[in-house]
Amino acid sequence: MIKTVFFNKEENCLELIDQTLLPLQEVIIKCRTEVDIAKSIIDMQVRGAPAIGVTAAYGVYFGLINPKNREKKILLEELLEQICDLLTGTRPTAVNLFYAVNRVRNAILNLHTGDLDKAAEKALSEAKAIYEEDLAMCRAIGKYGQELIGDCETWLTHCNAGALATAGYGTALGVFRAAKEAGKNIKIIADETRPLLQGARLTAWELMKDGFEVTVIDMAGGLIRNDMVQGVVVGADRITSKGFVANKIGTYSLAVLCKYNGVPFYVAAPTSTFDMSIKYDDEIVIEQRNPDEITKFAGVQVAPTGVKVYNPAFDVTPPELITGIITDKGIIEPIYAETIPQVLGLK
């Protein structure tokens, strides 16, 4: 299995496959400080909601063992705040980042200790637990989701919600992997996913490695209209308590297309992607990215100098367009305002 995030015990570092270089080069980067970790998330060497959560969780550990931080001679609580602020300040939309960092922070605070070594030990064990749980949640999502897929069907996905976006196996791609493991012969359509091409570069790469027949497209409308796709599964960066789903830009258009043409549109996400503190789309902070991602292609300028650019990384799909949300606890169906709290055990 692809090692998206790997804690190297011997070298005491976190190894990440540099996703900005895929599929042309398979380069492993080694993070040894919380600053390395924050930079790898900002630069999108690691990306995808669950993967950045897991990576940031390890970042707390590296911050607590960093000799530069230990020289500061400040209280553990203060240092912890500095480290957590750095990590959560990297990307604003995926809630998994906040979930993972807060979980490690709370585990440390619950020790009621000022001892940095004990705190670091706790941070490492909690990060490992988050990693293991993410992997298990992806497997469970696959188990439930594969039931939706029939033999010899063609399903479409957007962006990359695969092993590269999680601790491993993937959410949307985990559903396809589980269907294949169940003996179903399926074909996958990968949306190219502009502007950073996560579909063409990452989804195509990891599915081909696993022996899938995958086709990269930039014309979902035509395929969906012509009945060439039996269903769509996408990942999620944040899901509100009423079922609004933030995911890679272009997801909303895909959901509208599916609704118009009567094609099932599923979201696959672990329970760590739900943000029960908010209800509606306008409460989700959408990351705005560098205009160069739009005006340049592979470093070469393609748009007129000075043109205005609007480049949000994510959009929000409203609940009425979503057929079901495939989670590690089962498939959630509408009406989400009622079913999400029920499945998450909050009602």
CB 293 within 8 A of CB 299: no
CA atoms within 13 A on the CB side of 179: 27
Give the pair of three-digit tokens for residue 226: 């012509």
Task: Please choose, out of 58-66, 116-124, 176-184, 232-240, the segment that lies near ligand MRU by the rule CB under 6 A.
Answer: 232-240
| Minimal distance, residue 167 CB to ligand MRU, in Å | 10
326 binds ligand MRU (CB under 6 A): no
Binding mask 188-227 for ligand MRU (x = CB under 6 A): ----------x-----------------------------
Measured in degrees and rounded to the nearest 5, phi and psi for residue 239 equal -125, 125
Question: Which residue has tokens 């009423």?
Answer: 242
**Going residue by residue from 30 to 59, which x/- string records binding to ligand MRU, judged by CB under 6 A?**
-----------------xxxx---------
122 lies in the binding site for ligand MRU (CB under 6 A): no
Using alpha carbons, list the distances in angstroms from residue 91 to 85, 106, 108, 251.
11, 21, 23, 19
User: Cβ of residue 3: shortest distance to ligand MRU, in angstroms?
Assistant: 16
Q: Which amino acid is at 28?
A: I
User: CB-side exposure of 108: number of CA atoms within 13 Å?
Assistant: 30
Q: Considering the complex, state which of residue 224 and residue 326 has its C-beta at the smaller distance from ligand MRU.
A: 326
Binders of ligand MRU in range 295-314 (CB under 6 A): 313
Question: Which residues face 216 on adjacent strands?
Answer: 190
Q: Please, what is the minimum distance in Å from the beta carbon of residue 219 to ligand MRU? A: 19
Q: Please state, in angstroms and as integers, the Cα–Cα distance from residue 189 to each residue in 160, 194, 198, following that order.
A: 12, 15, 13
- Which residues of this protein are in contact with ligand MRU, per CB under 6 A? 47-50, 94, 159, 161, 165-166, 171, 198, 235-237, 247-248, 313
